[in-house]
Amino acid sequence: MALTREQLAQRVARELQDGYYVNLGIGIPTLVANYVPEGIEVMLQSENGLLGMGPFPTEDEIDADMINAGKQTVTAAKGASIFSSAESFAMIRGGHVDLTVLGAFEVDVSGNIASWMIPGKLIKGMGGAMDLVAGADNIIVTMTHASKHGESKLLTKCSLPLTGAGCIKKVVTDLAYIEIADNKFWLKERAPGVSVEDIIRLTEGELVVPDLVPEMTF
Q: Which residues are catalytic?
A: 47
140 φ, ψ (degrees, to nearest 5): -115, 130
Q: Give the DSSP per-residue string, the chain.
A: -PPPHHHHHHHHHTT--TT-EEEE-SSGGGGGGGGPPTT---EEEETTTEEEE-SPPPGGG--TT-B-TTS-B--EEEEEEE--HHHHHHHHHTT--SEEEE--SEEETTS-EE-S--TTS-----TTHHHHHHH-S-EEEEE-SB-TTS-BSEESS--SPPSBSS---EEEESSEEEEEETTEEEEEEE-TT--HHHHHHT--S-EE--S--PBP--
